[in-house]
Amino acid sequence: MSPAVAVIMGSASDWETMEHCVTTLRDLEIPYEVRVLSAHRTPGALEAYVADSETRGVRVFVAAAGGAAHLAGVVASRTLKPVLGIPMGTALGGLDSLLSTVQMPAGIPVGTLAIGRAGAVNAALLAAAILASSDDTIVGRLRRFRDEQAQRILDQPDPSA
């Protein structure tokens, strides 16, 4: 099956965080592929990958990077598909990544999620929600995800006991 979501990370060192995105996509049965490609270390390969992905049917791009994190912005500059940016944690706590990803000048949008694991999980859920707008089976899976999440919380014992 051709992937609906392309997950791009700037370095293999981002995988520990991005694994949470991929696990969530898997749980929702969303076809995806993962690539390590960098806006500054492999710019030509990144550009070629985004163009090729579109022809293969990718409908949402997820881009994770840390530091001077321009990966999501560069991806967004090469596609009209939605791009979800995830700022990675860094020596500065990820605030540098967050500002680099979220503060896109008007004209090229990047939907930016939270720093780190929360952003990784939520990028998968948001990608699924985007795909769900034209696929009711994904709506059902998202509903099940929320129901199970709520049930896990309700099943927790009294933490003070």
Residues at the interface with ligand RP5 (CB under 6 A): 9-11, 13-14, 38, 65-67, 88
The answer for residues whose C-beta is within 8 angstroms of residue 143's C-beta and 6 or more apart is: none
Torsion over CA: 113, 118, 122, 123 (sign):
positive
CB of 97 to ligand RP5, least distance (A): 7
Query: What are the φ and ψ backbone dihedral angles of 8, each rounded to 5 degrees?
Result: -115, 135
CB-nearer residue toward ligand RP5: 114 or 142: 114
Residue tagged 């991929």 (tokens): 22
Task: Tell me the residue nearest to ligand RP5 as measured from the CB.
Answer: 10
CB-nearer residue toward ligand RP5: 27 or 33: 33
CB-nearer residue toward ligand RP5: 14 or 112: 14
Among 114, 11, 4, 97, CA closest to 53: 4
How many CB atoms lie under 10 A from the CB of residue 116? 23
CB of 67 to ligand RP5, least distance (A): 5
CB-nearer residue toward ligand RP5: 75 or 138: 75
CB of 121 to ligand RP5, least distance (A): 17
Q: How many CA atoms lie within 13 A of 126 on its CB side?
A: 20
CB-nearer residue toward ligand RP5: 46 or 60: 46
CB of 40 to ligand RP5, least distance (A): 7
CB of 132 to ligand RP5, least distance (A): 28
Query: What are the φ and ψ backbone dihedral angles of 67, each rounded to 5 degrees?
Result: 80, -130
